[in-house]
Chains A and B, each alone.
Chain A
Amino acid sequence: MADAESVTNILAGLALFADLSRPQLEAVAHTFDEQWFAQGQRILRQGLTGSGLFVVLDGEAAVTIDGQTRAVLSRGDFFGEISVLLGEPPAADIVALRPLRCLVLSGADVEAFLISHPRVMYRMLQAEARRLRSANLWRS
């Protein structure tokens, strides 16, 4: 914990921000807030409004719906975007499985951020496409 890797260095290695220059990554690091969550702590709460877009920097989190774990998130994964894009409360709890380090951008700031960073928006769309494909494979 003493020598946590710098946020900008971590961002440089994440697919979501792969197209950004170093100065742009620094701006992202300054725009998002950094948060740590203790093991067992909830980050998103099913049904509660007013949250944001989270990007996992370190640690792991479970996606749980009505107490059942549906997926596990780790470095580079992001969550909260569906709730923000649709303007609805999250449909799942996100719970830290071990100490979890995240960046968070308030829901109200996400639209402006994505529009001013179209390459991040495109990467996010790719990630959503992969999720959709996985979900369709699982169903078929």
Chain B
Amino acid sequence: MAELDTRPFPPGDYPAVVVGSGPGGLQMSYCLARLGVRHAMLSADPAPGGMFRRLPLFERLITWSKPHAPAERGTRPYEWYDWNSLLADDPAHRALVPEFMDGTSYFPSRAEMERGLAAFAERTGIQVRYGCRWEGTRRKSDGFVLLTSDGEYRCRVAVFAVGAAQPWKPPIPGIESVPHYVEAKPVRAYAGKRVFIIGKRNSGFEIADALLPWARQIILASPRPVLHSLLSRSTSGVRARYLQPYEDHVLAGGILVLDAAIGRIERTPDGYRVFAEGTTITRALTLSADEVIAATGFATPLLDLPALGVATVNEGRIPALTPFWESISGPGIYFAGSASQGASGLRKHGIGSNSGGVAGFRHNARVLAAHLAETCFGVRIDRPVLRPDQVVPYLLAEATRAPELWNQQSYLARVVSFNRERGIVDEGILPLAHFVDAAGPDAVGMVVETDREGNHYPVAYVRRSGRVGEHALESDLMLDFETTPHRAQLRALLEGLM
């Protein structure tokens, strides 16, 4: 006799369906549940963790979780010092990743991260139907049908938190014979070899760093020059901990970092031959290598969503999203997790959001859950009313300590509105791109921004009679925006609104 299937969420009708049990899906499900939105949570995996069940390849993250930090562990300000733990209302469920860290690094290991995520799922009681693979999607008049390995799920709203960890290679002739980053061999297999790495972002430098004690020569190549996080003032560049191979290149120690477009790759009896053209210096290059690795990035597994109209960027890898993480061309199709980077925000001074990582997208998920609860499911969210004398100190405290504003600079804003009937209302955290474009009552959206000189400072976007003005407050060496001059400056900006 067949065993009784005790898994939750059998196929059927649900108001919403969340797909994926990585950090994005877990955060989304947690937040929807807290708001009372009934939903099915489906995952092809056997356990929580998503990509952290197998990546990063060399078992160490690039995002900090500081066991000891200026803010007390488990408090909201501490979230800025702990980029890897998911968000929870109950303090007992916060800051779970540092709990599993052994003190050897403030970057958690892959296993520590996976344990932290599993603990979050277990302690918060998130229900997941594991082993249920999303295989296709149909639109119906009032929502969607998700076709899965277990049957059909009908829902009004679908939230895809399927990660952006599907190996991706550019269409270079011959690249099919080249292993992707995820298929790289154990480092000892590269001992004494000439290794050619396609790609100069974090994954390329991660491999180069790991091969430093093993490879005879390492060449990294891609069309654009290396973007360093120290120079871009953001996490979008190559992170400082992978600078060693670059320093080796600068000192001419056996590593070459080339700006070149790869034309084609050929197999030879003893390895590979790579044909490339320099981009910053025009020159044809023919390079021999014993091993080639494609550190060319990842994609969101969108399955048939493009056929439903979901537009993408980066050669089909990331869905293009509205400020509330809905497909710009597929209404009702939402994304959480890494794919939420498809809502690019204002990118002030060229600095993008942190939505590609847990640090940023955990906040997005909370904002999206509240947005869906209110706009799709009629949930009423009570918003605190502020006294006039509370507004300035509150906004400056947020600019100084709110993890949402620091993790998602010029992307998420603390919004306070000024209404004749409702009074002064804390509208919560909202996407800045939504705030500056939406109609609404007089209001202020407070964010933190960083300019290209590296100055961090608060910016108040003030909406008066439908027009939004931008007002940068002073930067501060100690990152303290709660000073007397800051209070005076903000009070003057809000003159007449309170």
Which residues of A are interface residues toward B (Cβ below 8 A)? 1-2, 4, 6-7, 21-24, 26-27, 29-31, 33-38, 41-42, 45, 47-52, 89, 99, 101, 104-109, 116
Given A2-B306, A48-B468, A99-B311, also A35-B261 (CB < 8 A): no
In the bound complex, CA of A116 to CA of B224 (Å)? 12
Instruction: Find B449's partner among A24, A41, A50 (CB 8 Å cutoff).
Output: A50
Residues in chain A near residue B313, CB distance under 8 A:
34-36
Q: Please encode chain B, from 72 to 87, with 1 for each CB lying within 8 Å of some chain A CB and 0 for all others.
A: 0000000000000000
Contact present for B436 and A1 (CB under 8 Å): no
Contact B437 A42 (CB under 8 A): yes
Do the beta carbons of B344 and A35 come within 8 Å of each other? yes
Does residue B470 face the partner (Cβ distance < 8 Å to A)? yes
Task: List, in ascending order, chain B residues with CB within 8 A of A52's CB.
Answer: 347, 350
Question: Contact at A116–B280, with CB atoms within 8 Å?
Answer: yes
Question: Chain B 256-267, CB within 8 Å of chain A: the 1/0 string?
Answer: 000111010000
Minimum CB–CB distance from A58 to chain B (whole Å) comes to 10
- Are A30 and B222 in contact (CB-based, < 8 A)? yes
Residue B288 at the A interface, CB < 8 A? no
Asked whether, in the complex, the Cβ of B261 is within 8 Å of the Cβ of A23, the reply is: yes
Contact check, A21 vs B436: say whether CB atoms are below 8 A apart: no
Bound together, the chains give a CA A2 to CA B187 distance in angstroms of 38
The residue on B at minimum CB distance from A36 is B320
Chain A residues, Cβ within 8 Å of B314: 34
- In the complex, the chain A residue whose C-beta lies closest to that of B283 is A23
Q: When the two chains form their complex, are residues A47 and B261 in contact, meaning their CB atoms are under 8 A apart?
A: no
Knowing A34-B313, A49-B470, the reply to whether A26 touches B437 (Cβ < 8 A) is no
B329–A108 contact, CB under 8 A?
no
Least CB distance from A3 to B in Å reads 8
Whether the Cβ atoms of B279 and A23 lie closer than 8 Å is: yes
A126 to chain B, nearest CB (A): 23
Q: Which residues of B contact A48 (CB under 8 A)?
A: 346, 436, 468, 470
The answer to whether B350 touches A31, judged by C-beta atoms less than 8 angstroms apart, is no
Bound together, the chains give a CA A89 to CA B306 distance in angstroms of 36
B315 adjacent to chain A (CB < 8 Å): yes
| Structural contact, A38 and B347, CB atoms closer than 8 A | no
For A2, the chain B residues whose CB sits under 8 A away are 306-307
Q: Is the CB of B329 within 8 A of A38?
A: yes
